Amino acid sequence: MTNNHPALAIDPYYDGVPAYMTEVYDWAYVDPTWVRALDRNWVVRVLLFLNDQRLMRSYLNEIEPGMRVWQLAHVYGDLVTRAARKVGPSGVFHLTDVTPIQIEHGTRKLAGMEWTKVIRTDAAAFNHAEFVDYDLICSFFLLHEVPEEKKYEIVDHMLDKLPKGSKAVFVDYHNPARWQPIRYILKLVNHYLEPFADALWKNEIQHYARDASKFAWRKKTFFGGVYQCVVVEHKN
């Protein structure tokens, strides 16, 4: 998809950013002024209806000191720093993101932690010299933001790169129960702001995996089904 955003010709913050990012999420993730305003814990807390801590814990609890961890995309607030600290100096923490301003923020947050690296790449194509055999690969609220074909690419790439004995963790939206009032708020949000999110209401994450049957899928839902954490491992 060609990116025809008018800022592209003159602004390095837009250089190489996928079209869906500038067309749908410009103010949320690409425009540096907005990103500086939004990159705060309270923003994440409000966006996740106060479920931020338990959703982050569902990822952080899977990390053990010394692990090699790849987090696919930057997240606002202190999640990246907490994950890197938990990995600690005997491990490896790699953060990737496709958007220059997000790389800037991630780099600032991880400054001074020599076991970390921030790498600009599309998560579906991360295959650089830095790539190692990860113990844990995490997609935290990335899948609902990307177009359908990119969901397949990202899930397949994560699982293709997952060594035996390692875990992939997906934390993301899910199909909320009908009694959950937030369901109806999110319907509107998805309609106006998140055009690729409804797909996770219809499809399990394993739907996006080419070889789903080769893996064990463990799903836990939160907040009346609004959110899910799925942990994936190779079957023996």
Ligand X SMILES: C[S@@+](CC[C@H](N)C(=O)[O-])C[C@H]1O[C@@H](n2cnc3c(N)ncnc32)[C@H](O)[C@@H]1O
Residues contributing to the site for ligand X (CB under 6 A): 21, 29, 44, 72-76, 96-99, 102, 122-124, 140-142, 145-146, 150
Q: How far is the CB of 51 from ligand X (least distance, A)?
A: 12
Q: How far is the CB of 139 from ligand X (least distance, A)?
A: 8
Q: How far is the CB of 7 from ligand X (least distance, A)?
A: 15
* Rounded Cα–Cα distance for residues 107 and 119 (Å): 9
Q: Which C-beta is closer to ligand X: that of 20 or that of 115?
A: 20
Q: How far is the CB of 82 from ligand X (least distance, A)?
A: 14
Long-range contacts of 186-191 (CB under 8 A, 24+ apart): 186/226
* Rounded Cα–Cα distance for residues 75 and 142 (Å): 9
Q: Which C-beta is closer to ligand X: that of 122 or that of 234?
A: 122
Rounded to an integer, what is the distance from CA 136 to the centroid of its chain? 13
Could you give the C-alpha distances from 175 to 151, 168, 187, 202, 235, in angstroms and in order?
17, 21, 10, 7, 26
Tell me the one-letter amino acid at 226: V
CA torsion sign for 57, 61, 66, 68 is: negative
Q: Which C-beta is closer to ligand X: that of 29 or that of 70?
A: 29
Q: Which C-beta is closer to ligand X: that of 60 or that of 234?
A: 60
* Rounded Cα–Cα distance for residues 119 and 94 (Å): 7
Q: How far is the CB of 147 from ligand X (least distance, A)?
A: 9
Q: Which C-beta is closer to ligand X: that of 122 or that of 198?
A: 122
Rounded to an integer, what is the distance from CA 34 to the centroid of its chain? 19
Q: How far is the CB of 89 from ligand X (least distance, A)?
A: 25
Q: Which C-beta is closer to ligand X: that of 193 or that of 214?
A: 193
3-state secondary structure of 230: strand
Residue indicated by tokens 């994440």:
44
CA torsion sign for 166, 171, 175, 176 is: positive
